[in-house]
Amino acid sequence: MENVVRNNFAGRIGSGKSTSINNNIEASANSFVISKMYEREAEEYCRLNEFAVRNGIVLFGSTFAKDIPVGELRQAFELDCNIYNRSFADVSVLDAEALLIKCAESLAPSKILLQLGETDLERGYKSVPEIIAAYDSLVKSIKKRNRFTDIVIVSVCENSNGIQPSEFNSQLENMAKKNKCKFADISNASSDRMPSVKAFSMLKMFMRNGITFCEAMNMVNY
């Protein structure tokens, strides 16, 4: 499967539909266990992938990320790239790999924005180091499978369920640096009157291939 994915990425020129390797991705995903609670939504994402353009950007995360309307905001912020939200409400880091393979890998994304850990912090079943270790394993697996894909690790925000992610985000940033991934700190987005818009405005600089000085300043002043 790894060779299939490498050939897929190595052969990317221009854009095209993602239907040609769906069977290979499906076979790989079947080697992982996907929780019953995600099956129907995962199938819907797979059907949408048949109409998507490859080599775009994939946002993959839990509840906060799922609520970001990337289609509308891409237009509002005039971003010239294809962005697909393949997030799942209440998804754990521990369930993420199978879902990523099934719902995102056939898109051959040029970038993956990961925002995970929110659900794990809420549940409290794992300690912060344990969640970070699982996250680290996921990132290494993505890099191994998709060596031409850039990975952006996105911080977790405070939410109405009372999570305080400052220590988690600090360790998450260190993990991102160790894996040579970019780190996007959107932790203060939750305090904005429109958290999803605020978060997207802070992430847009990571969606483009380059960043201007004005964009960097706007990220702070938005």
Distance, in Å, from the CA atom of 136 to the CA atom of 151, rounded to the nearest integer, reads: 12
Domain borders along the chain are: 2-185
Identify the pLDDT of residue 36: 83
- For residue range 94-145, what is the model confidence (pLDDT) as tens digits? 999 999 999 999 999 999 999 999 999 999 999 999 999 999 999 999 999 9
Distance, in Å, from the CA atom of 204 to the CA atom of 78, rounded to the nearest integer, reads: 10
- For residue range 39-50, what is the model confidence (pLDDT) as tens digits? 999 999 999 999
Q: Mark the ranges of the chain whose per-residue pLDDT is less than 50.
A: 1-31, 212-222
Distance, in Å, from the CA atom of 97 to the CA atom of 216, rounded to the nearest integer, reads: 32
* Spatial contact of 135 and 129, defined as CB atoms under 8 Å apart: no
pTM of the model: 0.80
Distance, in Å, from the CA atom of 88 to the CA atom of 188, rounded to the nearest integer, reads: 22
3-class SS string, 124-187: CCCCHHHHHHHHHHHHHHHHHHCCCCEEEEECCCCCCCCCCCHHHHHHHHHHHHHCCCEEECCC
Q: Which CATH architecture fits 2-185? A: 3-Layer(aba) Sandwich (3.40)
